[in-house]
Amino acid sequence: MSQLALGAPGLRKRQSLRRRRGKSVVMVGLLVAAVVVAVGVLAWVLIYVAIQGAGALNLNFLTHNPPGNPGAAGGGFFNGIVGSLIIVGLATAIAIPLGIGAAIYLVEYGRGRFSATIRFFNDVLIGIPTIVTGAFIYAIWVTRFGFSGFAGSLALSIVMLPLVTRTTEEMLRLVPNELREGSLALGATRSQTVMRVCLPTALPGIITGVMLAVARAMGETAPLLLTALGNDLFTQYNPTQRMSTLSLQIFDNAVTGFQEGQARAWAGALTLIVIVLVFTFVARFFGRRVRTANA
């Protein structure tokens, strides 16, 4: 309150109302301009990719592998799409149990400094450059077992883990304490309470978090360069071998300098954006249900 009174030099300075109103219109206009720029850039990117990608995106693109020569026309990113699905799928399988487990610990069990430290460094891990994550997996895994799709999954799981932990934690905190108390009063143990009461209640929100993490992992390229490496020759279903992903193929073909390769890369970029947007929208749909349910 006092801050408002003291912090109002603009009101104490004598200025005509007209001038103050004029200034307000200008400043608010600038703020609106900022939003227009942000949304405009989004539209520019999406429309540009859609136009460039639509030319080359067809069934053939989705069902064929790239030709051996990057300058040749035709072909597609089938092996990259398969690779992305396998690698991200495995990463999700690693990140979900660990992330949810960590969140359960933070909300239901953790007390004191240790859990505060975990929470803090979980947030910090979200901001660690993913190329460093890739280098880390290279050091502990690739140097021993070679480049492989699974190494890529390990790197992506480190990208996803803190995201899953964070959203699950927030959703578990929204579960009313009365539910826990009711369950415990009926004689359930703590683990039963968590597994049968807290998690099911928080489930829609947890799904949102997982899907957003999957969307993020789908687009990651840098850590995969150092782990999955890429493989343009054939479709690799075995994650112990080096694998291609959609993002890696976009990167490789975008910088080849061949127009045919770039056409494939645009189609790949459009495919990737569609996949990511679908995940984001579905996640938002679940997320909205959560919010209304807990309001």
Partner 1 sequence: MPPPAGVSGGITATRTLPLPLKRGRPRVADRVFGSGVAIAGAIVLVVIGAMIIFLVLEGLPAMQHYGFFSFITASRWAPSDAFPNVSHPNPYGILQFIYGTMLTSIIGMLIAVPLAVGAALVITDVAPQRVKGPLSALVDLLAAVPSVVYGFWGIFALIPAIKPVVDFLTTTLGTVPVIGIAFQGPFFGVSYFTAGLVLAIMVLPIIAAVCREVFRSTPRNEKEAALALGATRWETIRIAVLPRSRSGIVGAALLGLGRALGETIAVTMVIGNAVLHINPSIFSQGATMSSVIANEFTEATEPFHLSALFVVGFWLLIVALIVNILARLIVRRGVAL
Taking CB under 8 A as the criterion, which residues in 224-243 touch partner 1? 225-226, 229
Q: At what angle do helices 17-54 and 259-294 cross, to 10 degrees?
A: 130
Find the shortest distance in angstroms from Cβ 213 to partner 1: 9
Identify which of residues 75 and 119 has a Cβ nearer to partner 1 in the complex. Answer: 119
Rule CB under 8 A: say whether 78 interacts with partner 1: no
Find the shortest distance in angstroms from Cβ 285 to partner 1: 12
Span 97-126, contacts to partner 1 by CB under 8 A? 97-102, 104-106, 108-110, 115, 117-118, 120-126
Identify which of residues 82 and 250 has a Cβ nearer to partner 1 in the complex. Answer: 250
Identify which of residues 1 and 59 has a Cβ nearer to partner 1 in the complex. Answer: 1
Of 88, 155, 215, 228, the one binding partner 1 (CB under 8 A) is 215
Of 194, 206, 211, 228, the one binding partner 1 (CB under 8 A) is 194
Helix (H, G, I), strand (E, B) or coil at 229: strand
Residue 199's Cα: distance from chain center in Å? Answer: 22
Helix (H, G, I), strand (E, B) or coil at 55: coil
Find the shortest distance in angstroms from Cβ 190 to partner 1: 5
Angle at the Cα of 261 (from 258 to 264), degrees rounded to 5?
Answer: 150
Identify which of residues 57 and 100 has a Cβ nearer to partner 1 in the complex. Answer: 100
Q: 3-state SS of the chain: helix, strand, coil percent to 5?
A: 80, 0, 20
Q: How far apart are CA 52 and CA 263, in angstroms?
A: 7
Q: What is the DSSP string of 59-94?
A: HHHHHSPPPSSTTS-----HHHHHHHHHHHHHHHHH
Span 246-275, contacts to partner 1 by CB under 8 A? 247, 250-251, 254-255, 262, 265-266, 269, 272-273
Rule CB under 8 A: say whether 68 interacts with partner 1: no
Q: How far apart are CA 8 and CA 293, in angstroms?
A: 40
Rule CB under 8 A: say whether 81 interacts with partner 1: no
Find the shortest distance in angstroms from Cβ 20 to partner 1: 5
Q: How far apart are CA 156 and CA 239, in angstroms?
A: 14
Rule CB under 8 A: say whether 54 interacts with partner 1: no
Q: How far apart are CA 217 and CA 156, in angstroms?
A: 6
In this chain, which stretch among 64-72, 74-82, 196-204, 232-240 interacts with partner 1, using CB under 8 A? 196-204
